[in-house]
Structure 1
Amino acid sequence: MLKSISAPLIVLLLTSWTLAAEPNKYLKQAHEVTEHINDTFFDPASGVYRKYADKPKLDYVWLQSVAFANLVAAARNEPEVYGPQLEKYFTALDGYWDDKVEIPGYEAAPTQGNGSDKYYDDNAWMAITLIEAYETNEKPAYLKRADETLDFVLSGWDDEIGGGIWWHQNHKDGTKNTCANGPSAVACLQLAKFQKEDSAELVDWAKKIVDWTCNALQDDDGLFDDRVVVKTGEIKRGKLTYNTALIIRAQLGLYRATGDEKYLEQAKRLGKASDWFLDAQTGVYRDALRYAHFMVEADLELYRTTKEPYLLDRARRNVDAWYQDWNADKPNDMMTNACLGRALWLMGEAESEQGQAFWNHSDELGMKE
């Protein structure tokens, strides 16, 4: 009987049977990974996470932002277990917050407020997560800090080479990067859902940022190169999943905020183009997990809008492969573990009524009235 069924259909049938046999599989795996992170990397003295399991050095704020995003999702699904930890962690992240400068922001490493060079992309990631934290528990402190953080991010825009947000505050690298502009646009659109008096301005910011990034850094295949050297105009090639992923999310946010179908069409185009990132043999993203997990998040967000099955299948295939690898050999760095935990929570929410309700409501908040 099975000989007459195609191989892809067999895989689909087996996957469906496995899901039916393992209800809440991804949420259980997410809990397992998150507990491992807490047991292995948490530093009680600082309240944040160490970079490596066997070294005392605290991790940088960008990597802490992924741990923060993992805890936000964990607290949404298991509030009694992770809600108190999320609150303490948010407070502990003040150790990176420099409020002794004209425009406060998060520094890369723990600070005494000495005005060190800050990364605009670090702060954009933090802003996105702070807004999601506010959506999760409605505590005003999260929204206030998100607003402050985004003020810093947008201060990184200037009109040199036609616009764009710098990577470093002090322009140390001399570049404007997709990784700074993509998440900045997403943060603007996320905050616009809750800052109604400023929503039009924030949507305009997102349009401006996305337009500049597409003009400056989008290749002919639709995917995004890494950065442009401002002084020379040289494009630094190299396509990473997280760059395209954040533009997909920004295009979706603009579609919801404006109702303009062109943004949805661009997001769909980028979704299809992102097959380029897949390994031909395994169907898993070639990038390191620190980049690729952002594409799973974009796949799930695009799936909520288009309901195209390939997006859910692609996300599930990646998350299953990542968990299998983790179970066989747990990584020694905090961020890889946190990226997996975050992806598992999101995959679980994509299959649970509670999770679907949260994300559908989040999307609806961003829709044009």
Structure 2
Amino acid sequence: MKKIVTAIILGIVFIAQAQGQQKIEPYKEYKNRAESFYELVYGLYYLPKYNLFSEYYPNTNQPNLNYFNDGEKAAKEVSFLWPFSGMTSAVNILYKIDKKKYNTSLKNLIEAQKQYRDTIRKPIGYQAYPTRLEKSDRYYDDNGLVGIDYIEAYSNTKQKSYLKDAKEVFEFIISGWNSDLEGGVTWLEGIYDQKPACSNGKATVLALKIYEQTKDKYYLDWGLKFYNWMHSHLKAEENIYWNDMKTADRSVLKTAWTYNTGTMLQAAVSLYKITGNKMYLNEAQSLAEGSYLYFGKKQTDGRISILDNPWFTVVLFRGYQDLYAVDQNSKYINTIIKNIDFAWANARDDKGLLYSDWNAEKDESKTPKWLLNQAAVIELYARIALIKKQNT
């Protein structure tokens, strides 16, 4: 009888262990993808001479870049700030998976990112290209990204210098606030033609993240100022956010990008957590559904695909992830998870880099791959790994 009981107990233990292994397997799979893809991207894009990254791989015959105020620019020997920040953002999430493994990587990236810090013009801010290579414009949206990198690094490590860095960046951003259109900041320093969602949305998130770490009401007040300005000037009835408002005639550019809705979704969740006011939770849920309906397109295999630039989509995922942590509605995160998994299986070149079109509707096997799009994949898989870990 004892042998039978022992066998039954061992059988139960074996089944429990097997079930436990099955539960943890998705976490390991996504963790491995995030980590292996980081190693791949770092190996292909890193430029030891500069301790920076190239804008594209391969770093020859690079396409022109069109994300500047003054028109297209040729890609240069190192990347501009925006793609570099994408790598810092990705490693901030990898750090949450394995602090010991990524502590040095995070420290090195933040140190390298300081190459874009301009101390000549006041207030101190980050310019689009490394200061030792040339003088360039200082964009408020770029600075928002950098500030978020720093406050995330502070949240991860509690290193006080990172909090100081985040606050410094925020002061640069609010130096651009003026009374045109009742407030808000422009796209870049010294140019006053528009007040865009990209600059003001990122400033909202940055202010609220600093408040969450410090409980300094100064940042909550600023976060609410930015949030309320965005809500009253650029919110669309479709429950998404438009691109910008022109200062000359108050006309709104009704172009929508996923990341502008994503930042405001993050902000709404933050304000709900800070205040407990369900108005903000309802707003976050409305933005999640609005973005799903506006950007989602049904594919032939039944997937709903969020059609946008990969990094833009990942910023939307940040908002979806924050909302999921509050209301446990997995509809939105699962939509993007299905799409990145489809791309992983169907939209990679011979190096293993992902296409910009995750639906693989055209052959990009020979197309140079933009650093920012690859950094987005690292971040997304790391975020998915964290979700899967929490669900085990």
- SS where residue 77 of structure 2 aligns? coil
User: Which residue pairs with 1:176 in the alignment?
Assistant: 195
Shift of 1:351: 1.2
User: Which residue pairs with 1:271 in the alignment?
Assistant: 288
When residues 322 and 127 of structure 1 are mapped into structure 2, their CA distance, relative to the original with a 3 A threshold, is: farther
1:313 paired to 2:334 = yes
Shift of 1:75: 2.6
Shift of 1:348: 0.4
1:167 paired to 2:184 = no
The letter for the 2-side match of 1:241 is T
Aligned pairs, how many? 336
Shift of 1:54: 2.3
Aligned counterpart in structure 1 of residue 167 of structure 2, from 141, 147, 150: 147
The letter for the 2-side match of 1:238 is T
**In the TM superposition, what whole-angstrom CA distance separates every residue of 1:76-114 from its partner, at most 9, and x where no partner exists?**
323343221221121111110011222101100111498
Shift of 1:325: 4.1
User: Which residue pairs with 1:101 in the alignment?
Assistant: 121
Q: CA RMSD in A?
A: 2.1
Aligned counterpart in structure 1 of residue 353 of structure 2, from 330, 343, 348: 330
Shift of 1:306: 0.8
TM-score by length of 2: 0.81
User: Which residue pairs with 2:82 in the alignment?
Assistant: 62
Taking the aligned partners of 1:181 and 1:135, their CA distance within structure 2 comes to 22
Per mean C-alpha deviation after superposition, the further-off stretch among 52-61 and 319-328 is 319-328
User: Which residue pairs with 2:220 in the alignment?
Assistant: 203
Taking the aligned partners of 1:272 and 1:279, their CA distance within structure 2 comes to 13
Q: Percent identity?
A: 22
Per mean C-alpha deviation after superposition, the further-off stretch among 274-283 and 77-86 is 77-86
- SS where residue 304 of structure 2 aligns? coil
**In the TM superposition, what whole-angstrom CA distance separates every residue of 1:44-83 from its partner, at most 9, and x where no partner exists?**
1221211012226211111111110111122332334322
When residues 340 and 114 of structure 1 are mapped into structure 2, their CA distance, relative to the original with a 3 A threshold, is: closer
Aligned counterpart in structure 2 of residue 344 of structure 1, from 358, 377, 381: 381
Taking the aligned partners of 1:239 and 1:23, their CA distance within structure 2 comes to 33
User: Which residue pairs with 2:236 in the alignment?
Assistant: 219
Taking the aligned partners of 1:32 and 1:224, their CA distance within structure 2 comes to 35
Taking the aligned partners of 1:296 and 1:190, their CA distance within structure 2 comes to 17
The letter for the 1-side match of 2:273 is R
When residues 113 and 101 of structure 1 are mapped into structure 2, their CA distance, relative to the original with a 3 A threshold, is: farther
- SS where residue 284 of structure 1 aligns? strand
The letter for the 2-side match of 1:47 is N
Aligned counterpart in structure 1 of residue 47 of structure 2, from 38, 43, 66: 43
**Is 2:85–2:113's contact at 8 Å kept on the other side of the alignment?**
no
**In the TM superposition, what whole-angstrom CA distance separates every residue of 1:209-249 from its partner, at most 9, and x where no partner exists?**
11111111111111111011111212111111000000001
**Is 1:128–1:187's contact at 8 Å kept on the other side of the alignment?**
yes
**Is 2:144–2:169's contact at 8 Å kept on the other side of the alignment?**
yes
**Is 1:300–1:315's contact at 8 Å kept on the other side of the alignment?**
no
- SS where residue 117 of structure 1 aligns? coil
**Is 1:98–1:113's contact at 8 Å kept on the other side of the alignment?**
no
Shift of 1:312: 3.3
**Is 2:129–2:136's contact at 8 Å kept on the other side of the alignment?**
no
Shift of 1:117: 2.5
- SS where residue 245 of structure 2 aligns? strand
Aligned counterpart in structure 2 of residue 77 of structure 1, from 97, 104, 109: 97
The letter for the 2-side match of 1:279 is K
**Is 1:117–1:169's contact at 8 Å kept on the other side of the alignment?**
yes
Aligned counterpart in structure 2 of residue 242 of structure 1, from 259, 267, 275: 259
**Is 1:178–1:225's contact at 8 Å kept on the other side of the alignment?**
yes
Gaps of 5+ in 2: 1-20, 60-75, 355-368
Per mean C-alpha deviation after superposition, the further-off stretch among 344-353 and 275-284 is 275-284
1:188 paired to 2:207 = yes
TM-score by length of 1: 0.86
The letter for the 1-side match of 2:325 is R
Shift of 1:175: 1.1
When residues 322 and 156 of structure 1 are mapped into structure 2, their CA distance, relative to the original with a 3 A threshold, is: farther
Shift of 1:122: 0.3
1:252 paired to 2:282 = no
When residues 291 and 123 of structure 1 are mapped into structure 2, their CA distance, relative to the original with a 3 A threshold, is: same
When residues 23 and 293 of structure 1 are mapped into structure 2, their CA distance, relative to the original with a 3 A threshold, is: closer
Taking the aligned partners of 2:242 and 2:328, their CA distance within structure 1 comes to 28
- SS where residue 227 of structure 1 aligns? strand
Shift of 1:132: 0.8
Shift of 1:139: 1.4
**Is 2:137–2:188's contact at 8 Å kept on the other side of the alignment?**
yes
**Is 1:302–1:311's contact at 8 Å kept on the other side of the alignment?**
no
Shift of 1:141: 1.6
Taking the aligned partners of 1:347 and 1:23, their CA distance within structure 2 comes to 8
User: Which residue pairs with 1:33 in the alignment?
Assistant: 37
Gaps of 5+ in 1: 1-16, 358-369
